A and B are shown apart, each in its own frame.
Chain A
Amino acid sequence: MTDGVLSTSDRSKRQATPPVAAVLVVGGGIGGIQASLDLADSGFKVYLVEKDLSIGGTMSQLDKTFPTNDCAMCIMSPKLVEAGRHRNIEILSLSRVEDVKGRAGAFRVLIRKRPRYVDLQKCTACGDCARVCPVRLPDDYEVGLVTRRAIYQPFAQSMPSAFGIDKRGTPPCRAVCPIHVNAQGYIALITEAKYEEALALIRENNPFPGITGRICTHPCETACRRGDVDQSVAINGLKRFLADRAGETPITTPPRPDHRERIAVVGSGPAGLLAAHDLRRMGYGVTVFESLPVLGGMLSVGIPEYRLPRHVVDKEIGTLRQLGVELRVNTRVGNDLPLKSLRERYQAVFLAVGAHVSHRLAIDGEDLDGVIHATDYLRRVNMGDVPPVGPRVAVVGGGNAAIDAARVARRQGGSRVIILYRRSREEMPALPEEIEAAEAEGIVIEWLAAPTSVQGKNGRVAKAVCVRMKLGEPDASGRRRPVPVQGSHFTIELDTLILAIGQTPDLSFLHQHDSLKITAGGTIEADPVTLETSARGVFAGGDAVTGPLTYIDAMAAGRKAAVSIDRYLRGEELGANRESEGPQTDYVRAEIEGVPRQPRSQTGALTPSERVHGFQEVDLGLTETQVRDEATRCLQCGGCSDCLQCVQACEAQAIIHDMNEEVGEIEVGAIILTPGFDAFDPRPKSEYGYGRFPNVLTSIEFERCLSAAGPFGGHPRRPSDGQPPKSIGWVQCVGSRDPHRGVGYCSSVCCMAATKQAVVAREHAPDLEATIFYMDMRAHGKDFDRYVERAREVHGVRYVRSRISNITEDPQHHDLFVIYETEDGHLVHDQLDMVVLSVGLLPPRSASDLSRTLGVRLNPYGFADTTWSEPLRTNRSGVFVAGAFSGPKDVPETVVQGSAAAAEASALLAESRGALVSEIERPPETDVRNARPRIGVFVCHCGINIGGLVRVSDVVAHAATLPFVVHVEDNLYTCSQDNQERIKKAILDHRLNRVVVASCSPRTHEALFQDTLQAAGLNRYLLEMANIRDQCSWVHTNWPREATDKAKDLVRMAVSKAALLEPLPTFEIPVHPRGLVVGGGIAGLTSALGLADQGYDVDLVEIESELGGNLRHIATTLEGEAPRAVLARLVDAVTSHQRIRVFVDTRIESISGFVGNFKTTLTTRGEAVEHEHGVVIVATGAREMKTREYLCGQDERVVTQREFESLLHHRPSALGNQNSELTVCMIQCVGSRTTEHPYCSRVCCSQAIKNTLALGERFPRARIFVLYRDIRTYGFAEDYYQKAREQGALFVRFDPERKPVVEKQNGHLQVSVYDPLLQDHLVLTPDWLVLSVGIEPLESNEHVARMLKVPLNADRFFLEAHMKLRPVEFATEGVYVAGLAHGPKSIDETIVQAEAAVSRSCTVLSKKSIEVPGTVARVDERKCVACGLCEEICPYHAVDVVSKKTMVGEKPVAQVNEALCKGCGLCTASCRSGAIDVAGFSDAEIVAQMAQVSPR
């Protein structure tokens, strides 16, 4: 056999071991889902990798689908459920492919799975978690139109049906906080007014919110992302509000059980206190020793009361007492209580004695009266021992202590207070807000000035001699060193001089024998990471080690000490893994584009004149309203804020906040890539104002506006004012057909999508003016032109042919304006309420990653690179593509490709089919037919979804009173895994023979409970469900009593029906493993070879004597390749394949039977033979349309495109020589888009352009005119249209009302056409007139359709079961369609469709037998009068009226073919004599249910 198209069949030669019977599908959109289902249904294991939480892709976001206006979600959700529940499909959500090794048949794939933070096994998607989540993030499923919570599922039908948490990383505020207080978390809780919870969250890390909220240097605010928008969030103010509001709330978290060890903490400043707090919470006994009479260290004796009131300090230190920390004041460690004895009595000691001794300035006069050190000064003031200051005060220093001292002095009567600082304002270490406050209080700051000596009078300070400084080179601290300016001395007269130039610790309490090392700087030497000192068991931290730093640094030291001491006492490694302590630089920042400015709330403050008269707190804090406003300014950088509210809300205990990323390897035989596409971001095309003008939306956004499940309930509103729009304009080709933006191709779907949106929008608001601005209306799909015509005629959608160049806005009312020129030259200004930009389809963002990881080639636009003859194959063997990844396409083409890719993959792995899938074990069924009903009722709380409203206990009690009910129980989640076991056990324990589950929708959960029954040995149809959630608690949220009553009714109805339920048998129908392919063109050949490669016998029937069909007449493709060689190889492969029997010159006489069991009579040259087939693929093709229009057939210079192509390639000399100045005119849409043939033939535009390019190449001097209505070169064919224009071909549009006129004038052809742009007639005299005559269906279609009982559409092409999701099959099972028989299409589309038909066939042929569900129609032959209505009405052709022996003698009666019946019930509803019932929904059962409805 040959290479190329046959590479699947010669695989066995190369491969010794059988291939892995599993396939990896990358991307969970509709294409991926279809591929997965096909594979899983034909005996393969599927791993479906999805990057997001849920499969569903773009289709799940769509509102309606064209051309049928079906709800996208309604038609898709059964597929979601099927994929989600399929035993052979494993959905790997939040995953991506990291690496691929190996080769076709045996790939090893590395998958990286992001954590969901929710246990899939436990989550029941009840949504209780999302209700308590305080975080609001832009909802990506709703394209950012609304917000969602951090714990969420994208949409109600999500699959896997479970929530997940959006964690983006640590937010800056929390990362940079030295003690990692969860600021984002408590801010989020504030937005929900959950103040207690917020405070509790702070206290997890910080017992002093009131203190911290006042004096912390707030690195969190410095790092806050909001600062990049306007100003940082007032985090301190929020914290302080919570603390102040809390009153005397006791600490609620009780410490864990005590350890034996006790710890001494020396010093009650922030470092000591936080260490004590942490250690106590760890369960240690802690005693704090404080030498002063007050607790708090610098908090109490350093910081003035107007900044930090004493009662705040006392209250918060008091919480430590509540925790059980022992606090001793007036106890100086040293002489009376030596460190040595502490070390004996306590198992560890933490020295946190602070730095309370002021540095000396070392200048003359420093010891005069009236010179005082800031720490001493502040301590004495704070302790009530008020030292006198004179009216003229100078403070030396630039830190917070200097400012504090100055401001205190000002309050103590200092009328002229000056601060002398030797550097400039920029270098000043004090907080800017403190400096400003000081200045506001009248304190003068002399920058770049320092005292050189102090002079006294009578022993008291009288003046200071100062010198001006300038800044020199940077010093060790990185700040520029101040250098005195020569001769700049000046004098300040003063009464008091306060020195605030730094402090050192007072270490006089240490003895020699304590053997503690001291640094040169006079601080305790301690390890920077572990805080260990040179003495074992003694740790030291805070200012005593580092010299004076900030409050929060001291707190961090306290925390560090607690960790070290705990490890020390446990005997663990002290220094290991401590990187996460202290400030971190690794954090995430929220996206800020488009965040509206909202200034920070300003706290109230005392006026400067009020301040200086006392020590009242200056900062008045934020009001509650301000706090709520301020909290909403938070950008929620981290996504989930780790507030853990969800953990408390989740009854199923499914939330795991510390879940980790997983990396795992899987083995697969083939890979299918279906990553979909991304929408073009119209922001860079700023002329359309997207992002600037609120009423300009993208088509995806508008789709969500239209969706009934979307943010506006399906009624579009103007974003600017919330009003329903009265006029909407659609601007087409935004990010399509735009080579300047790198998107030269046509996105193929937008014309129809916009038309659909316009139609649906007008259905919502009939008065709406809908206008679509377009270049060419590309309605090239099946029935698309009809849809557009209906939109125009019936729905009044206005179509304006114009490329809109820009959009302007009335900035007041946000109305929009477009200007365009009509074809007759008038300039029109349109005012629109809203504009929808039809954004193009881009390759998915993941494309380049996939390309790299898999070694798969991309085309210049970044889509997967494929060829016309192998449209699904990549350059890497065993890796296939489907859907928009290989070029823009709509849903049906994506579904077809999904199936087709599945066929390619399964052909590769055919010999291993079934190796990795298991059959379900079924225990024997208990016979319950004559037993008295014993009903078990299971009532579900669904967390609080039902239980929060309906009184479940009442429902349970009520159920217990009902007839036949022998067991009732309620479950938190009846669907959870453990409850399936409970139900099984209850069935066995109570000998139940009927089960009622009162919970949610059978749509999602019936199969689950049916399986449970089956596992317990009950027939699966002995289950009845009562939907007391979706149809009760969810819709009556404000009516708890009534909802409870209704729930009882629903349960009672279900019970009464359950009592009548019968076990229903399921049938097995054998399948004949041979396929019939009708038609020997490219579609039929591909199908036949495909089936044979899958390992099934095939009969290929061709009515002509030669295989090849229409493709025989095609010389080149649009890409310029010759298909002949490919066709020849294909024919060769088919004719030589041992599984294929080819019947040429053969017609099908008759086909009867049904799926798995068709009986076909073939007549070859008069001889009829019957064959049996399991499936039938209709690939009968179509033909070039016959016409006599435009002198066709009457003048030899008038030819069809196909004839012209033949001339061009096989007899070019007939056209002229290379230099001939040929004039060729082409007319498009000859016979297409007419009253007789209202459809578009889809391929003629490309065909014309193909011939134009070939002509131009061969005859460079040829003049080419193409007369057209719309050029429909969708997808990458647009490039060739562009090329043809560049080559000089002239494209002239005509209106169908003014078609070209062709005449013979003096022996010359003369074409006259009205050019709407020139507004004049153009008269051409071409040498050749080429007609694009289009494609028409075969007459024989009607015959075939009748035999197979499948429908044709109005144009007499075969009509598929569903235009979107079942594009190659029929309602009649086992029959499939491919190629032109289905409708006009290109070669590659035909090949793909043929492969899709193979894939669908395999889902039948791969089974030995087909299982028929029990819920089928049954005829009561006694009542049947054989009227035949049921036969006529049955969409599946499952009912026939036959003559039959019955209980009442031989008579004609309706007979149901159970293999075909879908249990839809149309026959039951239509039967006039009540002779047909659908099993499981019999009249008796329904009536019994109805009878139980309470009268109201």
Chain B
Amino acid sequence: MTYAFFLGCTVPVRSLNYELSARKVARAVGIGMVDIDGFECCGYPIRHLDQMTALLLAAKNLSLAEEHGYDICTLCSACAGTLADANRKLRENAGLRHDINEKLSETTGRVYRGTLEVKHFARVLFQDVGLEEIRRHLNTDLSSLRLAAHYGCHYLKPSHIYDSIEDPETPHTLDDLIEVTGAASIAFEGRDRCCGGGVLAMDETVALAMAREKLDRVVQAGGEALVLICPFCDIMYESNQRKIEKAFNTRFGLPVIYLTQLLGLAMGMIPDELGFRLNRVKAKDLLAKVTHDEST
């Protein structure tokens, strides 16, 4: 299994720990990741202003991957959503594909034929690798951990662009991927709510209040860390955690880790390899709990 590795804009800038851990985990479970020169913005930021331009951007990325013969795997949920949506539209609507290709070839000399699949890395892990195979690579017991899964929105919705493989109201892949490590994926109210990132640019107070609500509930439910699969959610829960604490005069100190970091730990990789130093909310206690065997 080899994929074109689509990093997008946010991961390589803000979430190097995600990229780092994802690459390690991919290698461990036998997924090849090819970096392709020329990948650009997925199109998400201008989607709501100019659909055609957004499609054009997506189509260029898709055509590049197609040329190399790899399906696309993304780390960012927004990239996954945008590219999958564009891909679906272009595959199903020949007229649209024709129009886009006309512009695309005009500006870049490329065309997209519509032969690709776009998948989020978590789906690759769940569907293509499978829990059984992942379990074979695990060697560290994480059963002492109680973790909160946060799916975010673009990973699930709109579900039809992902062929409705998962009911967005009752998602389970992230829980399963957490629980395969032995850790408990805890239930808490409002799990399926937005992180707030969508309104951050418009109204910071609302966005922070939304993120705060979830942090509150995770802590109340006894969660020791939030597990994410999207760098945008990370901005809300991790980068802005101090800000939230200040704004609401409260204290969380809740570690926010990427799924790939968690899987890496369960595979016995050391925290440094997985970029834990780059986590802004330090996961010291958490790591102490699961790696104490090595220190003795």
Report the separation of the CA atoms of residues A810 and B186 in the bound assembly, to the nearest whole angstrom. Answer: 12
Contacts A811-B221, A812-B221; is A692 near B192 (CB within 8 Å)? no
At the interface, yes or no: B190 with Cβ under 8 Å from chain A? yes
At the interface, yes or no: A1024 with Cβ under 8 Å from chain B? no
Report the separation of the CA atoms of residues A895 and B19 in the bound assembly, to the nearest whole angstrom. Answer: 68
Chain A hits for B190, CB < 8 A: 808, 817
Chain A hits for B221, CB < 8 A: 811-812
At the interface, yes or no: A822 with Cβ under 8 Å from chain B? no
Report the separation of the CA atoms of residues A477 and B189 in the bound assembly, to the nearest whole angstrom. Answer: 55
| Residue from A692, A808, A817 with most neighbouring chain B CB atoms (10 Å) | A808
Chain B hits for A817, CB < 8 A: 189-190
Report the separation of the CA atoms of residues A812 and B190 in the bound assembly, to the nearest whole angstrom. Answer: 12
Contact A692 B188 (CB under 8 A): no
Closest to A809 in B: B189
Report the separation of the CA atoms of residues A811 and B221 in the bound assembly, to the nearest whole angstrom. Answer: 9
Chain A hits for B167, CB < 8 A: 686
At the interface, yes or no: A687 with Cβ under 8 Å from chain B? yes
Contact B189 A808 (CB under 8 A): yes
- A687: contacting residue among B169, B187, B189, B193, CB under 8 A: B169
**Interface of chain B residues 165 through 188 with chain A (CB within 8 A):** 167, 169-170, 187-188
At the interface, yes or no: A806 with Cβ under 8 Å from chain B? yes
Contact A692 B170 (CB under 8 A): yes
Chain B hits for A806, CB < 8 A: 169, 192
> Contact flags (1/0) for A792-818 with B, using CB distance below 8 Å?
000000000000001011111000010
Chain B hits for A689, CB < 8 A: 169
B153 to A: closest C-beta gap in Å: 13
Contacts A686-B167, A686-B169, A692-B170; is A808 near B187 (CB within 8 Å)? no
Report the separation of the CA atoms of residues A692 and B192 in the bound assembly, to the nearest whole angstrom. Answer: 14
- The range of chain A's interface size is 10 to 19
Count residues of chain B with CB under 8 A from any CB of chain A: 10
> Contact flags (1/0) for B152-172 with A, using CB distance below 8 Å?
000000000000000101100
Closest to A684 in B: B167
Contacts A686-B169, A692-B170, A806-B169; is A811 near B192 (CB within 8 Å)? no
Closest to A815 in B: B189
Chain B hits for A811, CB < 8 A: 187-189, 221
Report the separation of the CA atoms of residues A999 and B170 in the bound assembly, to the nearest whole angstrom. Answer: 55
Report the separation of the CA atoms of residues A806 and B187 in the bound assembly, to the nearest whole angstrom. Answer: 17
Closest to B217 in A: A810
Closest to B190 in A: A808
> Contact flags (1/0) for A681-700 with B, using CB distance below 8 Å?
00000110100100000000
Report the separation of the CA atoms of residues A1039 and B189 in the bound assembly, to the nearest whole angstrom. Answer: 51
B80 to A: closest C-beta gap in Å: 21
Chain B hits for A686, CB < 8 A: 167, 169-170
**Interface of chain A residues 687 through 729 with chain B (CB within 8 A):** 687, 689, 692
**Interface of chain B residues 182 through 229 with chain A (CB within 8 A):** 187-190, 192-193, 221
B224 to A: closest C-beta gap in Å: 17
Chain B hits for A687, CB < 8 A: 169
Closest to B167 in A: A686
Chain B hits for A809, CB < 8 A: 189
Chain A hits for B187, CB < 8 A: 811-812
**Interface of chain A residues 780 through 838 with chain B (CB within 8 A):** 806, 808-812, 817
Report the separation of the CA atoms of residues A692 and B170 in the bound assembly, to the nearest whole angstrom. Answer: 9
Chain A hits for B170, CB < 8 A: 686, 692
Report the separation of the CA atoms of residues A687 and B171 in the bound assembly, to the nearest whole angstrom. Answer: 11
B72 to A: closest C-beta gap in Å: 28
Report the separation of the CA atoms of residues A386 and B192 in the bound assembly, to the nearest whole angstrom. Answer: 69
Chain A hits for B189, CB < 8 A: 808-811, 817
B9 to A: closest C-beta gap in Å: 31
Closest to A689 in B: B169
| Residue from B167, B169, B188, B193 with most neighbouring chain A CB atoms (10 Å) | B169
Report the separation of the CA atoms of residues A689 and B187 in the bound assembly, to the nearest whole angstrom. Answer: 14
Chain B hits for A812, CB < 8 A: 187, 221
B48 to A: closest C-beta gap in Å: 21
**Interface of chain A residues 899 through 946 with chain B (CB within 8 A):** none
Chain B hits for A810, CB < 8 A: 189
Closest to A692 in B: B170
B192 to A: closest C-beta gap in Å: 7
Closest to A811 in B: B187
A527 to B: closest C-beta gap in Å: 47
Report the separation of the CA atoms of residues A812 and B193 in the bound assembly, to the nearest whole angstrom. Answer: 18
A689 to B: closest C-beta gap in Å: 8
Chain A hits for B188, CB < 8 A: 811
Report the separation of the CA atoms of residues A438 and B166 in the bound assembly, to the nearest whole angstrom. Answer: 44
> Contact flags (1/0) for B229-248 with A, using CB distance below 8 Å?
00000000000000000000
A691 to B: closest C-beta gap in Å: 9
**Interface of chain A residues 568 through 617 with chain B (CB within 8 A):** none
Closest to A685 in B: B169
A823 to B: closest C-beta gap in Å: 21
B176 to A: closest C-beta gap in Å: 15
Report the separation of the CA atoms of residues A806 and B170 in the bound assembly, to the nearest whole angstrom. Answer: 12
Report the separation of the CA atoms of residues A808 and B193 in the bound assembly, to the nearest whole angstrom. Answer: 10
A426 to B: closest C-beta gap in Å: 16
B234 to A: closest C-beta gap in Å: 23
A806 to B: closest C-beta gap in Å: 7
A973 to B: closest C-beta gap in Å: 53
Report the separation of the CA atoms of residues A817 and B217 in the bound assembly, to the nearest whole angstrom. Answer: 14
Chain A hits for B192, CB < 8 A: 806, 808
Closest to B193 in A: A808
Chain B hits for A692, CB < 8 A: 170
A1336 to B: closest C-beta gap in Å: 48
A640 to B: closest C-beta gap in Å: 35
A1297 to B: closest C-beta gap in Å: 33
Report the separation of the CA atoms of residues A808 and B189 in the bound assembly, to the nearest whole angstrom. Answer: 7
**Interface of chain B residues 39 through 57 with chain A (CB within 8 A):** none
Chain B hits for A808, CB < 8 A: 189-190, 192-193
| Residue from A689, A809, A817 with most neighbouring chain B CB atoms (10 Å) | A809
Closest to A810 in B: B189
B196 to A: closest C-beta gap in Å: 15
Report the separation of the CA atoms of residues A34 and B127 in the bound assembly, to the nearest whole angstrom. Answer: 56
Report the separation of the CA atoms of residues A809 and B169 in the bound assembly, to the nearest whole angstrom. Answer: 12
A1084 to B: closest C-beta gap in Å: 54
B52 to A: closest C-beta gap in Å: 27
Report the separation of the CA atoms of residues A689 and B170 in the bound assembly, to the nearest whole angstrom. Answer: 8
B149 to A: closest C-beta gap in Å: 12
Report the separation of the CA atoms of residues A812 and B189 in the bound assembly, to the nearest whole angstrom. Answer: 9
Closest to A812 in B: B221
B167 to A: closest C-beta gap in Å: 5
Report the separation of the CA atoms of residues A1148 and B190 in the bound assembly, to the nearest whole angstrom. Answer: 69
Report the separation of the CA atoms of residues A352 and B171 in the bound assembly, to the nearest whole angstrom. Answer: 59
Report the separation of the CA atoms of residues A810 and B190 in the bound assembly, to the nearest whole angstrom. Answer: 8
A813 to B: closest C-beta gap in Å: 9
Report the separation of the CA atoms of residues A693 and B189 in the bound assembly, to the nearest whole angstrom. Answer: 12
A713 to B: closest C-beta gap in Å: 32
Closest to B186 in A: A811
Report the separation of the CA atoms of residues A808 and B188 in the bound assembly, to the nearest whole angstrom. Answer: 10
B119 to A: closest C-beta gap in Å: 23
Closest to A806 in B: B169
Report the separation of the CA atoms of residues A686 and B170 in the bound assembly, to the nearest whole angstrom. Answer: 7
B10 to A: closest C-beta gap in Å: 28
Report the separation of the CA atoms of residues A492 and B221 in the bound assembly, to the nearest whole angstrom. Answer: 59
A684 to B: closest C-beta gap in Å: 9
**Can you report 22 residue pairs joining A to B where beta carbons are below 8 Å apart?**
A686-B167, A686-B169, A686-B170, A687-B169, A689-B169, A692-B170, A806-B169, A806-B192, A808-B189, A808-B190, A808-B192, A808-B193, A809-B189, A810-B189, A811-B187, A811-B188, A811-B189, A811-B221, A812-B187, A812-B221, A817-B189, A817-B190
Please give 18 more A-B residue pairs, beta carbons under 8 A apart, in addition to A686-B170, A809-B189: A686-B167, A687-B169, A689-B169, A806-B169, A806-B192, A808-B189, A808-B190, A808-B192, A808-B193, A810-B189, A811-B187, A811-B188, A811-B189, A811-B221, A812-B187, A812-B221, A817-B189, A817-B190
Q: Which 3 A-B pairs have the closest CB atoms?
A: A811-B187, A686-B169, A810-B189
